[in-house]
Structure 1
């Protein structure tokens, strides 16, 4: 690790934020480069897994140093901040969408964002917003993170001592949730798009990996091609990539996809984190960790920009949520020309990088200056 920190975590958190931003701009050509085009999982799995990794890494140290009660208070305080941010972010998003929709004549952005519920039922929508049940498009990850963070104090003590027990209970809940159709209620009789009873498994796995990463482990000396687990994971990723790419040509997909495999595989549920999605992400994370060890590559300029965005993931995520409808509006006003679509996507990422740079600079300015001893 460089300076005692695995900078790959920050790098991939920042990269996931860029992918989420690009995926949320309709018709964006750069969205064809994101991870969702080459397999079953997407940036949401990266975001939740690394959120669990970072949370357990940070609050686990607090629990060991100051005790569980202090860690619990800090977790609850962080969850409260996220809750307040969620409320204000939703208000800002609705304002931006309403203004953007008045300038776009070719599409109904209010309907695309799922905001007609607020216009038709403003009082109930406000209540549902406070209860985390009103979640327009782009807003689903933050309530999920809030709920997962609220549950962390319940499992943190056992997770630090016997992580395998917590993972086992998490797997059991993950399997039971879709079997008995357990989910939380959303607006208008719906359910959460990200079922927290299923997605908690990724959060817990991220925390377990963070605990395991702190232990000294002997390096693997065998070449990758002689490591059965790596070859199995790489083979699964290759099969997933071929299937995902075949979706672009339905006739080719129908001709070569075995019927038995189709019946087992589809539908690939994102709400309940389908096993195919979960296995794809785990294989992707494992192969990436083996192929890209922490090293000097994270010191390159582009990697540093991604790392900086990853260190301020909450601020950058919220900013990306607000930038997506603005980029969509700019594309609509530009007649959806590919040059405008690429320009708006790159400008959005540039603004996210500038915000991360400003937050980093502001943090350095507010850092107390040590007073030299007399």
Structure 2
């Protein structure tokens, strides 16, 4: 633990940020080794689940120490910070995309990034930006996090006391939302790409996991009897990996997939967090938690760099969003030659790690120093 933080949470949050950046750079070879290539879910599920885990872990402690009212104030203050960051990030992203588009002749990056609305109707786009209705590509996770965080005060006391009841209500809303068309309004397709009404379940599950982790546990004599759960989760993760890999060869996929399974499985909606995506993430998370040791493995140098990025996830995420179109521009200059693609992907990773290191260095400089021995009080 570092100042009460679980390094495993920081590690996987940092890894998710790396995967999100690599996935957002078109034709990036390193994007072939990210989570979305080995199953139905991707780094977005990791990001939202761990956001729920970290938020409930932090603000439940605030509620215990300072009361529910103070916890609500701090949650709203954090949501406001995220909102302001979102506005400034979008302005910077538009400037970078317009700059990159002027250096790419073969593609229209403005259209690809979903910024046409700003070109055709700038006044309405500014209003939509303030209302979180205008969300170009790469920007969806941050507004989702803002809305989920704003809803946290409504469930935090119950989540701490009766987490299973909150999960049950959240699951009910998740199941009803796609059938009843519950979503928030946005431009273009008319709804949010990440539907907060369904993705809230993953956020709540992360929060419930943090509450469970805080409670004392004793050795369970029935642990061996739960082995079938691990086997089912591992089998589902493996099956999802095989199906996902078969997408690279459509003829093989069509030949191997039974018609009934094909009709049941597709379409796999990311907007409404399709059940197969949700189950894949939960299965993969369960298998990973059982196979990885609790301590020790986060102490090596690469893991520590990843943990550092996870500890400064907001700043690193914002940098990754801004670097993605610049990396795309660099790659387009050489017709997406793979050496440049790998170079731009690794350079972006290096810059993200450097930002996290700089932020942590500044944090240590501003930390209060202990008084020297013998100093008067």
TM over 0.5: yes
- By how many angstroms is 1:187 displaced? 1.1
> Where do 1:102-181 residues align within 5 Å?
102-181=102-181
Tell me how large the CA RMSD over aligned residues is.
1.5
In 1: Cα distance, 2:307 partner to 2:230 partner: 26
Alignment partner of 1:282 is 2:282: yes
Please say if 1:356 is aligned against 2:356: yes
Deviation (angstroms), 1:294: 2.0
Tell me what 2:263 maps to.
263
Shift of 1:245: 0.5
Change (3 A) 1:356 1:253: same
Give 1:186 deviation, angstroms.
0.1
> 2:102 is paired with a residue of what secondary structure?
helix
In structure 2, runs of 5+ residues without a counterpart are none
Alignment of structure 1 residues 41-80 onto 2, 5 Å: 41-80=41-80
Q: Quick one: structure 1 residues 189 and 302, their matched pair in 2 at CA, closer, same or farther if it must change by over 3 Å?
A: closer
Is the 1:224–1:231 contact (alpha carbons within 8 Å) kept by the matching residues of 2? Answer: no
Shift of the alpha carbon at 1:371?
Answer: 2.7
Q: Distance in 2 between matches of 1:327 and 1:225?
A: 50
Q: Please name the residue that 2:14 is paired with.
A: 14
Count of paired positions: 374
CA–CA distance in 2 between the matches of 1:173 and 1:151?
Answer: 14
Unmatched 5+ residue regions in structure 1?
Answer: none
- 1:86 maps to which residue? 86
CA distance in 1, matches of 2:42, 2:189: 27
Name the residue aligned to 1:239: 239
1:225, distance to aligned residue in structure 2 (A):
10
CA distance, structure 2, for counterparts of residue 335 and residue 195 of structure 1: 35
CA distance 1:302–1:240, shift in 2 (3 Å): same
**Aligned counterparts of 1:75 and 1:271: Cα–Cα separation in 2:** 26
**Residues 17 and 316 of structure 1 are in contact (CA less than 8 Å); yes or no, is this contact kept in structure 2?**
yes
Aligned to 1:27: 27
- Partner Cα separation in structure 2 for residue 275 and residue 192 of structure 1: 18
- 1:197 corresponds in structure 2 to 197
- Mapped partners of 2:231, 2:214: distance in 1: 25
> Structure 1 pair 221/315, CA: closer, same or farther in 2 (3 Å)?
farther
Shift of 1:216: 1.8
Q: Could you tell which deviates more after superposition, 2-11 or 51-60? A: 2-11
Give distance in 1, aligned partners of 2:331 and 2:171: 43
The 3-state SS of whatever aligns with 1:308 is helix
What is the CA-CA distance between 1:295 and the residue it aligns to? 1.2
Answer whether contact 1:182 1:197 (CA < 8 A) is retained: yes
Q: Deviations over 1:324-359 (max 9, x none)?
A: 000000000122100000000000000000000000
CA deviation after TM superposition for structure 1 residue 293, in Å: 2.4
- How far does residue 215 in structure 1 lie from its aligned partner after superposition? 1.3
Mapping 1:309-328, distance limit 5 Å: 309-328=309-328
**CA deviation vs aligned residue, 1:146-204 (integer Å, no higher than 9, x gap):** 00000000100111111111101100100010010111100146100000000000000
Aligned partners of 1:198 and 1:111: how far apart in 2? 28
1:220–1:290 Cα change, 3 Å:
farther
Q: Secondary structure at the match of 1:143?
A: helix
Question: 3-state SS of the aligned residue for 1:103?
Answer: coil
TM-score, normalised to structure 1, is: 0.97
Scaled by the length of structure 2, the TM-score of the pair is 0.97
Judged with a 3 Å threshold, the aligned counterparts in structure 2 of structure 1 residues 185 and 7 are, in CA distance, closer, same or farther, namely: same
